[in-house]
Amino acid sequence: MDNQAKIIVKASWVGVLGNALLSLLKIFIGIISGSLAVIADGIDSASDIVTSLITLFTARIMMRPPNIRYPYGYMKADTIATKALAFVILFAGAQLAISTARNFLAGTERDLPGMLAIYVTIISIIGKLLLARHQLYKGKQTNSEMLKANARNMQNDVLISVSVLTGLVFTFLLDTPVLDSVTGFVVSIWILKVGFQIFMQTNLDLMDANTDPGLYNKVFRAVESVEGAANPHRVRIRKIGNYYMVALDIEVDGDISSRHAHEICVKVEEEVRRSIENVFDIMIHIEPTGFEHKEKVYGVSPEDLPDD
């Protein structure tokens, strides 16, 4: 591992351990002080720990080179791990929503949560702010998107803790323990929302979606810039981890040699790689000028894109 990677891994572990400490503290204090909102906040932090751990461990799998069984490499391991995480978060959120709603609907007389609930929430806010600053600093130092994303995630957590704190303060001021259940329910809805977003996001990768139409234009322009290559169509772009697989059809003069046609393809490949970063592989299918597909074929052609 190079120095840069070492700093990233070390900073990730600082994030994991810091989060774990705060999460355990919140769940523990939430239970003994009887605050559902604080428990909910703790569960939300716990899901972040799982996220960071998954990132750290799948990073190793993703780096394995392609082989006979996995010719496209291991980079989608990340998508699979994140999909599993979405289910964990959805499950935790649903459990929490059910228990807080039940508590609220049953209208059971609850005691006011202890003051400890307020203290631990304040500690959590300060702790998360410090952690977020640390992750952002190391993220900028190493230019790691993962650490920067970690920092943003932690800033979101601070927002959750601030709303829990607000809920607790009103619970005490108005002497209405039921407000604590309401805050807990709101946080559980937030957790469900995050879980659902992650679920949908991973669907895009698993279903080979391309959410950036600008990439098609880059491919069309790359083909147009190569002499002898024309009519780019049936362009298909999909993602494997952070890399792109590109496949397309082009037309060349039907009477040139295969050697010449191959040279044109190599140039098209070079141009595509020049305009799109992180290309894993490019597949080009050649047709003689004027060739028409008899059957309906999928893929994107210039006329499929909306005018901009």
- Which positions lie near Zn ion, rule CB under 5 A? 249
Scored b (16 or more CB within 10 A) or e, 115-154 reads ebbbebbeebbebbeebbebbbebbeebebebbbebbebb
Q: Which is nearer to Zn ion, 156 or 301 (CB)?
A: 301
Q: Which is nearer to Zn ion, 205 or 249 (CB)?
A: 249
Distance of closest approach, residue 213 Cβ to Zn ion, in angstroms: 20
Distance of closest approach, residue 256 Cβ to Zn ion, in angstroms: 17
Among residues 103, 82, 131, 109, the alpha carbon closest in space to that of 40 is found at: 103
Chain position whose Cβ is nearest to Zn ion:
249
Q: Which is nearer to Zn ion, 44 or 249 (CB)?
A: 249
Q: Which is nearer to Zn ion, 163 or 231 (CB)?
A: 231
Q: 103 with 36: CB under 8 angstroms?
A: yes
Enumerate the β-bridge partners of residue 300: 235
3-state secondary structure of 109: coil
Q: Which is nearer to Zn ion, 145 or 253 (CB)?
A: 253
Distance of closest approach, residue 295 Cβ to Zn ion, in angstroms: 11
Q: Which is nearer to Zn ion, 69 or 294 (CB)?
A: 294
Angstrom distance (rounded) from CA 153 to CA 128? 10
Among residues 193, 206, 203, the alpha carbon closest in space to that of 89 is found at: 193
Distance of closest approach, residue 205 Cβ to Zn ion, in angstroms: 26
Distance of closest approach, residue 291 Cβ to Zn ion, in angstroms: 6
3-state secondary structure of 36: helix
Angstrom distance (rounded) from CA 104 to CA 179? 9
Distance of closest approach, residue 233 Cβ to Zn ion, in angstroms: 5
Residue type at 33 in one-letter notation: S
